[in-house]
Chains A and B, each alone.
Chain A
């Protein structure tokens, strides 16, 4: 318990550390813009934080153009594979020239431009330039690789500790084993059933720990927001959708296209609704995770940002306390969303495998 609260306090401080660059900006803004400028700047900072980025930046001072971090490789498919370092963009300041083509970073996206880096806009201020296919190793990809490696080593050490320790876990495995058993006994078996749960276990365990660890990584001062990215949650939901429908049995499809036990007219009416449900289920999985994580990040960062807006002896401690409480809540949400995603995936697998009971 003691240790736990120490960790929480540490995490909260770390979170506040993330916004240190906000503080740096704050001082300048007051000089040349006042509160309104600061407000838009905080908004932009949050919007930028929520998005993926082509370099890993820990701290930045955008006025002075000082960035502390490291660039990541950019991989483009634009009439051939083009690989170069993201340092060529200079954080969107310059145009990168690769193999005769010019590219510019604008709002975290890469656009193909002319030599001067002109970006054309339509009437609603959207860039109309051509976007090359972007396979860059971005910040989120790096985070996922990191978590993947972490999971691989953690769980391999758990698997190995059984052999060394005569069937009992040791070290970090003592913490991980109950979680593995939780996924098996509380999520997989009750929802899928004793007989068929085995073939889904790898997916369920991987997705549970993957989401949970990425959610927790989002709480660290690294400032990554992987599970709050629609492409990531889309991938997770797509895999769930594919596994559900590819392993489904006759009974499942029967319930969708020709619902047993209702009049023929109702069968015809129900079929499209049920078919829609097949797509809505993974869609809601995708939206739920994305929205929860994004909302969590936005709320915490806004409240941390409020500290710099208030700048009073009452307002700042108040928003600090609020941010602290919300961070603790977010720790819970991180685990809860991983649980719900896994749980619902298991539920869908269970539905796809249900035996006829009429």
Chain B
């Protein structure tokens, strides 16, 4: 692993972390607002988080 690779991997992790954090936070807010829709919100949240995660992993492998 070279220095640019490590920096790139770090950037990817930051980006993915921020993204998933935002999704999680928004989902929490949405659930607090509408507790009866928590099931649907959770599903949508997981799908969105999974997509970001997938991109993150793909980028990590590319950086590696």
List residues of A whose CB falls within 8 A of some B CB: 186, 190, 283-285, 287-288, 291-292, 336, 339-340, 343-344, 347
Interface size bracket, B side: 10 to 19
Q: Is the CB of A284 within 8 A of B60?
A: no
Chain A neighbourhood of B47, CB < 8 A: 340, 343-344, 347
Tell me the bound Cα distance from A340 to B49 in angstroms: 10
Main DSSP-derived SS at the B contact region: helix
A136 to B57, CA, bound (A): 30
CB < 8 Å: which of B39, B43, B58 contacts A284?
A: B58
- Is there contact, CB below 8 Å, between B57 and A340? no
* CB contact under 8 A between A343 and B43, given known A284-B51, A288-B50, A288-B53: yes
Given A190-B43, A343-B43 in contact, is the A291-B57 Cβ separation under 8 Å?
yes
| CB-nearest residue of chain A to B56 | A291
Tally inter-chain residue pairs, CB-CB below 8 A.
35
A-B contact pairs, 5 of them (CB 8 A): A186-B43, A284-B51, A287-B58, A292-B53, A344-B47
Give the residues in chain B near A186, CB-CB below 8 Å. 39, 43
Chain A residues positioned under 8 Å from B43 (CB to CB): 186, 190, 343
Q: Looking at the assembled complex, report how far the CB atom of B60 sits from the nearest CB atom of chain A, in whole angstroms.
A: 7
Assess the B54–A284 pair: CB atoms within 8 A: yes
B46, A288: Cβ atoms closer than 8 Å? no
User: In the complex, are the beta carbons of A287 and B61 less than 8 A apart?
Assistant: yes
User: Complex: how many Å from CA A287 to CA B43?
Assistant: 20
B46 — which chain A residues lie within 8 A by C-beta?
336, 339-340, 343
CA distance A347 to B43 in the complex (A): 11
Give bound CA distance, A30 to B12, whole Å: 37
| 0/1 interface trace, chain B 2-29, chain A, CB 8 Å (1 if under) | 0000000000000000000000000000
Q: Say whether A340 contacts B61, CB under 8 Å.
A: no
Q: How far is the CB of A342 from chain B (nearest CB, A)?
A: 11
Bound together, the chains give a CA A151 to CA B13 distance in angstroms of: 36
Hey, which chain B residues are within 8 Å of A288, CB to CB? 50, 53-54, 57
CB distance from B50 to the nearest CB of A (A): 5
| Chain A residue with the shortest CB-CB distance to B40 | A190
Complex alpha-carbon distance, A284 and B53, angstroms: 9
Which residues of chain B from 25 to 47 have a CB within 8 Å of any chain A CB?
39, 43, 46-47
